[in-house]
Amino acid sequence: MVALGYGAAGVSGGDEVYGLIDGYRDGWAAEFVAIEVRSLAPKPTTVDFVHAAAVPQAALTSWQALFDHGHLDTGQTVVIHGAGGGVGSMAVPLARWAGAHVIGTGSCRRAPTRARDGCRAIRRCRADGWETTIGPVDLVYDIIGGEVLARSAALVKPGGALVSIMAAMAH
């Protein structure tokens, strides 16, 4: 924090903070920006500023997909396509926090990391027939799109949900 505006409370100049700026506001990608204190949190000492800056948008995106749109609840099973990426790496612990069973898909090179983070299983979604080894599930959260998204509807239980942050792509 460089400086405080009138009425700011709960933080001090020099505090290391991170937060989510209103995306409709000009300057969100600037080096310095005015932001309301309520949109800030103390930056964990174990995270550098570059990584801390990436967390809020990815975490909010995953929170909205899992809970606001997907209505994920305790005991349900969720497939997270792209579990090893930036947005997916936020979705996995959020789903585990909610008490869900997590099946992650994506790149094999990130599989050990996601397994450590709480994925029940890791599947390569670029291999033929991956969808026959998964399902039925309560929620599919798609962060990949394209063919993976197109093949995911068959995984969802009746009354379940398919939530994607990607537009379907034609091949």
In a domain, 20, yes or no: yes
Looking at 19-23, 78-82, 97-101, 142-146, which range is the least confident one? 19-23
Q: How much is the pLDDT for 13?
A: 80
Residues 74 and 114 both lie in one domain: yes
What is the full DSSP assignment across 65-95?
A: IIIIIS---TT-EEEEETTTSTTHHHHHHHH
* pLDDT value of residue 76: 97
Average confidence (pLDDT) over 138-165: 93
DSSP 8-class letter at 143? S
Q: Please indicate, yes or no, whether residues 72 and 140 belong to a single structural domain of this protein.
A: yes
CATH number of the domain that residue 95 is part of: 3.40.50.720
Q: Identify the residue whose tokens are 């570059």.
A: 50
What is the tally of structural domains in the chain? 2
pLDDT for res 96: 93
- Tokens 């029940």 map to which residue? 120
Residues 170, 126, 67, 75, Cα dihedral to 10°: 140
- pLDDT score recorded for residue 89: 87
Q: Residues of the chain with pLDDT > 70: what percent? A: 79
- The arrangement of strands across the sheet holding 77-81 comes to 121-123, 101-105, 77-81, 137-142, 156-164
Residue 7 lies in a domain: yes
Is 2 in the same domain as 60?
no
> Are 22 and 87 part of one and the same domain?
no
pTM over 0.75: yes
Regarding whether 65 and 5 lie in a shared domain, the answer is: no
Residue 169: inside a domain, yes or no?
A: no
Whether 48 is covered by a domain: the verdict is no
Q: What is the pLDDT of residues 77-115, one digit of tens each?
A: 999 998 888 899 899 999 999 999 999 887 655 544 555
- The answer to whether residues 64 and 146 belong to one domain is yes
- Structure confidence at residue 17 (pLDDT): 86
DSSP 35-58: --GGGEEEPPTTS-HHHHHHHHHH
Number of other CB atoms surrounding residue 84 within 10 Å: 23
In a domain, 60, yes or no: yes
Distances, alpha carbon 13 to alpha carbons 17, 22, 165, in Å:
10, 21, 37
- Judge whether residue 165 has pLDDT over 90: yes
Is residue 50 in a domain? no
Same domain, 74 and 29: no
Bridge-partner residues for 122, per DSSP?
A: 104
pLDDT, greater one: 68 or 51: 68
Position 21 in a domain? yes
Higher pLDDT pick, 37 / 98 = 98
Q: Residue 21: give the domain boundaries.
A: 1-43
